[in-house]
Amino acid sequence: MTERNSRAGEDLPTALHPGAELKAAMAGFMNELKAFQTEVQHSLQHQEERLTMLNQKTMTYGRPALSAAAEADAPHQKAFDAYLRSGDDDGLRGLVLEGKALNSAVAADGGYLVDPQTADTIRSLLLSTSSLRAAANVVQVEASSFDVLIDRTEVGSGWATEAAAQAETSTPAIERISIKLHELSAMPKASQRLLDDSAFDVEGWLAGKIATRFIRAEAAAFINGDGVDKPKGILLPPKVANASWAWGSLGYVPTGAAADFAATNAADCIVNLVYALGADYRANGTFIMNSKTAGAVRKMKDADGRFMWSDGLQAGEPARLMGYAVLICEDMPDVAANSYPIAFGDFAAGYTIAERPDLRILRDPFSAKPHVLFYASKRVGGDVTDFAAIKLLKIAVS
């Protein structure tokens, strides 16, 4: 019996063996698990590749645009700072300093062009001050002079009939005004110990000193300059009564009193001054006077008792007289007999300032020990270029 049962058990199918079903199930589960792991790995790898591409694009296109400019300017600033502090010009030799209107190599004689940032700072300070520069026409040139061509007459015209011969008309005259550039300089000094201090902003200090000196010298020359080694000022040309005005001179309007404004209807001379200027210039008219004169004019009223002077409504906006901007230039004359304390005109058309765009610095550590001198220079000129665009007020009876 035992032997029969044993042979019977050997003849059972494999699927009916004890545990065979469990082994088959485990094998299927392991195969599915491996397939799932493979799919997860492929998915993670794909995600990683997408993140890598995204990061590369972000680094390439998301970088701030100013960083490249800052890196480009850094050698200039470092080399210029080293030259100012210690006289080390190794970084400057062969280095091209570039600005908005500047592309000049370093001079071999030791006078170095300032870096663009310092030059722009100086120019900004010059423009922000009460100087004729704020109202005049400013041009930058690369030559030693600047020529202005003025068409000061009109082309003649006339009425024609169908059969009559056409008569010859007048031809316009061209006036040429040459503005010579003169050297404007400043020479601030600093102790060597101060320059050695790494926390000291030597570039900012130097820019402020140069701008302060240039502002004073320019402002005076643009008003009263005689043209000898300096620009020609707006008060230099001959002055005639406006009724007798001719090209080459400036027309004036009297106040009606010998040494002051008229005692009655003092504001009438201001009205006369405004309308002495042609309508085409009057649209861009600006008053120029010093603070003392402004204090007197500010009190004037029209026939209806309203003040003719009005202050700017916003910060930085100029005061206005009869609706026209007022520029305070302290170099204008005071109110006195036979003086010309007020100018009115379109100074963008009437006065031109020509200058070279480069500023130069020469470091001198020997002449004023233990201080270091910095000789800064630029070339600038100015002159009246349209005598019809400017009118003056004269303190006189007539």
| Lowest mean pLDDT, pick from 90-99, 303-312, 324-333 | 90-99
Q: How far is CA 98 from the centre of its chain?
A: 16
Q: 10 Å Cβ neighbour count for 240?
A: 14
Per-residue pLDDT tens over the stretch 180-210: 999 998 888 888 888 887 677 787 788 888 8
Mean pLDDT of 264-289: 95
Mean pLDDT of 8-18: 51
Q: Is the pLDDT of residue 357 over 70?
A: yes
Residue 76 pLDDT:
60
Burial 68-102 (b: 16+ CB within 10 A, else e): eeeeeeeebeebbbebbbeeebeebeebebebeeb
- What integer best gives the mean pLDDT of the chain? 79
Q: Is the pLDDT of residue 137 over 80?
A: yes
Q: Is the pLDDT of residue 140 over 80?
A: yes
Q: Is the pLDDT of residue 51 over 50?
A: yes
Structure tokens at 294: 């402004």
Which of 160-174, 317-331, 364-378 has the highest average model confidence (pLDDT)? 317-331
Domains and CATH numbers, the chain: 76-151+173-231+355-384 (3.30.2400), 239-353+386-394 (3.30.2320.10)
Radius of gyration of the chain (CA): 40
User: At 320, is the secondary structure helix, strand, or coil?
Assistant: strand
Q: Where are the alpha helices (DSSP H) in 62-175?
A: 66-86, 116-127
Output 307 or 23, whichever has higher pLDDT. 307
pTM, full prediction = 0.69
pLDDT band at 368 (very low <50, low <70, confident <90, very high): confident
Structure tokens at 279: 């309508």
Task: Evaluate whether 395 touches 341 at the Cβ level (below 8 Å).
Answer: yes
Mean pLDDT of 241-245: 95
| Lowest mean pLDDT, pick from 47-51, 187-191, 308-312 | 47-51
Q: 10 Å Cβ neighbour count for 58?
A: 10
Sign of the dihedral through C-alpha 42, 45, 50, 53? negative
Residue type, 385: T
* Strand runs labelled E in 296-356: 309-310, 320-321, 324-328, 342-345, 351-355
* Strand runs labelled E in 122-233: 137-140, 145-151, 174-180, 182-186, 189-191
